[in-house]
Structure formats: structure tokens, C-alpha cells
Amino acid sequence: MRCWLDVAQIEQGPLFRRISRWGSVGDVALHERSVNAILTARAQEAGVLYAPKMSSHSLRRGLATSAHRAGADFLEIKRQGGWRHDGTVHAYIEEARAFEENAAGSLLRRKPST
């Protein structure tokens, strides 16, 4: 991603942008359908089995989950993802916690008795 930001000379604004047939990177964000089509095609090329289920929404949702796990501030997550409602972000964070805080997970963290 850092390479893309450097090459495209992006300092702010949308990450995924239109590229002209002459290779010029635009200022306008790609439409979500374009992101979905590109994401699915690249995931299928990489052999990802669930590629048809992926979408631009998956990326935004994944941002909330990954940022939370990395310790990012709630308001930073909300702003970065462009969510207007706290409840949406809280729901994604709660889903992330379901994989961290559960009975089965405690079995993995427990040291075996000798």
C-alpha cells in the first residue's frame, strides 16, 4: 500500500482511484462496483476460495476489526471508515471481540497440566 501511495502521489483523499488508459491517477474514488470487481478478480487469481463473497464492504469492515485489534482509538476508526453512527462501529468491534473473548479461545490460552 505504501508503494501505491508513493507511486500515485496520494497524500490525502481516496485510496482507490481511477486510472486513465494513459496511466494517469485521478483524484476521484473508484465506484464501489469497480472495487468489488477488481477485488473479486484478484482474489480469484490468488486462489481465495471465498472470493465471490468479498466486497468493498469487507474491506471497510476489516478495517474496523484490524484497527481495533491493533489498539486504534474508536473515533479514529469511525473517522477512517467514514461511519456516521457509533453503533455501526461498535457492532464490528463486538464481532471482532467474539473471536478474542470466548470459551474455546480460553482453552487455547490455557497451559496444559503436567
- pLDDT score for 101: 64
Average pLDDT per run of 10 along the chain, which is 114 residues long? 89 88 90 89 91 84 88 92 90 75 63 62
Cell triple for residue 91?
457492532
Task: Determine phi and psi for 73, rounding to 5 degrees.
Answer: -70, 140
- pLDDT score for 59: 83
- pLDDT score for 99: 63
- pLDDT score for 73: 93
- pLDDT score for 106: 64
Question: Is 91:64 a contact under the CB 8 Å cutoff?
Answer: no
Enter the CATH code of domain 52-114: 1.10.10
Cα angle: 19, vertex 49, 42; to 5 degrees: 15
- pLDDT score for 114: 58
pTM attached to this predicted model:
0.58
